[in-house]
Amino acid sequence: MRKHIFNAGPCKLSDPLLKNTSEAILDLDGIGQSILEISHRSKEFQAIMDETVELMKEVLSIPEGYSVLFLGGGASMQFAMIPYNFLKSKAFYLNTGTWSTKAIKEAKLWGEVVEVSSEEKDFTYIPKGFDVPKDVDYVHITTNNTIRGTEIFEDYDFGGLPLIADMSSDFLSRPVDVSKYAMIYGGAQKNLGPAGVTFVIIRDDMLEKVVADRKIPTMLQYKTHIDKGSMFNTPPVVNVFAVRETLKWVKSLGGVDAMNKLADERADLLYKTIDESKMFVSPVVKEDRSRMNIVFVMEDKYKDLDKDFIAYAAEQNCVGIKGHRSVGGFRASTYNACTMEDVNALVKAMKDFEAKNA
């Protein structure tokens, strides 16, 4: 039986992705070669890459003037590539959690970082109403904080300053006005596909903003990958195939609007269960609660039951709910492929466990 998978990333993927990718691993479209065996320069793979890029543009309504890239190195490589390419003297970073903190560390290698942070309250909210200096090279945000369970739901506009967003963990979960962003990026392994490929959506005019007097290794230049259509070196072939399957699946269900509705349904039920419970509590400010990573903890008097609940949930086939090691407690990651059936199973496990132990 397939488990109810709440892993934070890699995470649950859609059934059509699993089925079609397994078939392509045995034989790609009846050509007598596996997707693992074909050349990335073959016409078969070029068609897959082209279709994947086109589907990204269609599903996310990406306007003219943007390139869609599929790279290696993870979102973590982007933490370094962004300042390496674009940080001349000063950048603004909104620090909303562990991943933003890591991005800031890389940026500081190349210039000054002006930072607004919610760290003093353990990143349990998204800072608002802050000022951004007009003379920064770019603004960096993390739209969903996978570990702390907060999320930014609006598309910010800081007076036309280039806005760069790490959307690793809420990509494709809602409509986004891409025109507000200079760049959107993320590791695929949370909402888009298996681990091993990084997506980058970059406005082409950003190439004019690359620091001119810095020598940047070829592989770390955005221009290299834009010019070669993500084929400067061997791209992660099977991952791109799998990403295409996700995009086809999202489109078939009604696109990001449909994903948006499903995300609400899943998160509403889980937060309602938490808020009505005497045992579980959400540490996150209500208006900033993530729909993708539902973080919750035990009330103090039940703290020693953490392990028991995780074991009980596992017996009910709910896996992956242990909180990140830096936060403790629990985290149910409810990405696009998570169904109401999965959520209902977890809700039942929470209620039954509470009835037995509270």
Ligand X SMILES: *Cc1c(COP(=O)(O)O)cnc(C)c1O
- Active site members: 99, 166, 190
Pairing of strands 293-298, 330-333: antiparallel
Smallest distance, ligand X to C-beta of residue 299, A: 27
Whichever of 24 and 243 has its CB closer to ligand X, that residue is: 243
Smallest distance, ligand X to C-beta of residue 167, A: 8
Distance CA 332, CA 343 (A): 9
Smallest distance, ligand X to C-beta of residue 142, A: 5
Whichever of 147 and 298 has its CB closer to ligand X, that residue is: 147
Distance CA 171, CA 243 (A): 12
Distance CA 192, CA 215 (A): 33
Do 123 and 144 form a contact (C-beta atoms < 8 A)? no
Whichever of 88 and 324 has its CB closer to ligand X, that residue is: 324
Distance CA 22, CA 35 (A): 9
| Sequence-ordered alpha helix ranges (H) in 159-290 | 222-227, 237-252, 255-276
Whichever of 142 and 336 has its CB closer to ligand X, that residue is: 142
Do 172 and 192 form a contact (C-beta atoms < 8 A)? yes
Smallest distance, ligand X to C-beta of residue 285, A: 18
Given phi > 0 = left and psi -120 to 50 = alpha, else beta, which region is 97? left
What type of residue sits at position 153? F
Residue 179 DSSP symbol? G
Whichever of 196 and 255 has its CB closer to ligand X, that residue is: 196
Q: Which two tokens stand for residue 208?
A: 């004019």
Smallest distance, ligand X to C-beta of residue 350, A: 24
Do 317 and 310 form a contact (C-beta atoms < 8 A)? no
Where do contacts with ligand X occur on this chain (CB under 6 A)? 9, 74-76, 99, 142, 146, 166, 168-169, 187, 190
Pairing of strands 139-142, 150-151: unpaired
Smallest distance, ligand X to C-beta of residue 186, A: 7
Residue 289 DSSP symbol? B
Distance CA 205, CA 301 (A): 55
The beta strand positions in the chain, using DSSP E, are: 4-5, 66-71, 90-95, 112-117, 139-142, 144-145, 150-151, 163-166, 183-187, 198-203, 280-281, 293-298, 318-319, 330-333
Please calculate the CA angle 1-325-282 and round it to the nearest 5 degrees. 80
Whichever of 94 and 298 has its CB closer to ligand X, that residue is: 94
